[in-house]
Amino acid sequence: MAKKADLLAEAAKAGLEVSEKNTIAEIEAALAGVKSTETEAPVEATDAPAETTEETSEEAKEEVTVAKAGKRSAKALAEAEAKAEKEARKEAGDTSSQTGEEAAVKKGPKPVTRPVIDRRGKNYRKVAEKVEANKLYSLEDAVKLATETNPAKFDASVEVHVRLNVDPRQADQNIRATVSLPHGTGKSIRVAVFAPEADHKAAQEAGADVVGDETFLAQLDKEVLDFDILVATPQYMPKLGKYARLLGPRGLMPNPKSGTVATDVAKAVKEAKAGKVEYRVDKQAIVHLGIGKVSFGADKLVDNAKSFFDSLQAQKPASIKGGYVKTITVSTTMGPGVKVENFVN
């Protein structure tokens, strides 16, 4: 009976409807049914932890694939995801701002750009009508036409622009020389001489504007550059080394090729005052040189131009194959360009 009483107590705890009328076998069978139900419930309960375990393993797997740097870093993955979203919005035609701003308004038609000639002043357009765009003029006609098409009210310079068939990066094709123009350039040139005291008197008589030695260096220390050309003797050139950054970018550093490093300073000063100018090819393989003023007249300007072209031909590198000069253009400071026939080649 003790055993039946224990079974009844256990059945009461399990909520079973049994009594003393039931046999021990029936009570045990009912308890066994309850236990089997309890064992099934834990099985279902263990399913949830299994799913959680799978999720945890997937998260762990993702954490493993994220690297500290490179394409698999968190930053790179976030950028790739943002890029994918942007491409998706672009394909869907979604132009709305992602930061809360208003959507971009579609731009109107592209503005019409006016021709260059229409953007010039009326005086320029008026004189430019005299120049035929596709015509090649002779040197004499081009110089004459350039002086007639000067739109400026001042005495403008007449310039020659020559495009050469050279490579300025090659040392033997980096054209640089001087030429003495028969009628000068029309500019008042200030010449400074840096030479020993024994040469000061000769330089002053030749027309030098600034002459000195140590006093001249004191002016350079103060960055006083009241001259256009600097002539120096070879023995004084080392003293100018410390001023290379001051003089070089301004084109004032004496150079043997330009004739500004000379033992005879009086001769160098006379040549500089008479109209000796330096020309050199730029990075685009073009030589630019002013050959005088409009007030010179066509004849003097042609003489200066011929002297320049004679000097330019003498500088032709031996390594050049084919034509030396590509194009020639003559113009005033603010006037239209006049194309010249290639008489050099």
**CATH number, residue 334:** 3.30.190.20
| 314 lies in the same domain as 175 | yes
For the chain, 345 residues long, give each residue's pLDDT as a single digit of tens. 557 777 777 777 777 777 777 777 777 777 777 666 665 544 444 444 445 455 555 554 445 466 777 777 888 888 888 888 888 888 887 766 666 666 566 677 888 888 888 888 888 889 989 998 889 999 999 999 999 999 988 899 999 999 999 999 998 899 988 888 888 888 888 899 999 988 899 999 988 898 988 888 988 999 888 888 999 999 999 999 889 999 988 888 998 888 889 889 999 898 888 878 889 999 999 999 999 999 999 999 999 999 999 999 999 998 888 889 999 999 999 999 999 999 887
220, 247, 274 - which closes a domain: 274
In this prediction, residue 44 carries a pLDDT of 45
| 205 lies in the same domain as 260 | yes
Residue pair 177/260 in contact (Cβ under 8 Å)? The answer is no
In this prediction, residue 120 carries a pLDDT of 84
| 260 lies in the same domain as 289 | no
φ, ψ for residue 37 (rounded to 5)? Answer: -65, -40
In this prediction, residue 110 carries a pLDDT of 83
Classify strands 325-332 and 338-340 as parallel, antiparallel or unpaired. Answer: antiparallel
Locate 5 and state its tokens.
Answer: 């009483």
| 300 lies in the same domain as 263 | no
How many structural domains comprise the chain? Answer: 3
CA distance 334 to 105: 43
Q: What range defines the domain where residue 238 resides?
A: 190-274
| 197 lies in the same domain as 269 | yes
φ, ψ for residue 132 (rounded to 5)? Answer: -85, 125
In a domain, 312, yes or no: yes
| 47 lies in the same domain as 30 | yes
| 265 lies in the same domain as 210 | yes
229, 250, 274 - which closes a domain: 274
Instruction: State which amino acid sits at residue 164.
Output: L
259, 274, 289 - which closes a domain: 274
In a domain, 127, yes or no: no
Burial class (CB within 10 angstroms; exposed 0-12, middle 13-18, buried 19+) of 129: exposed
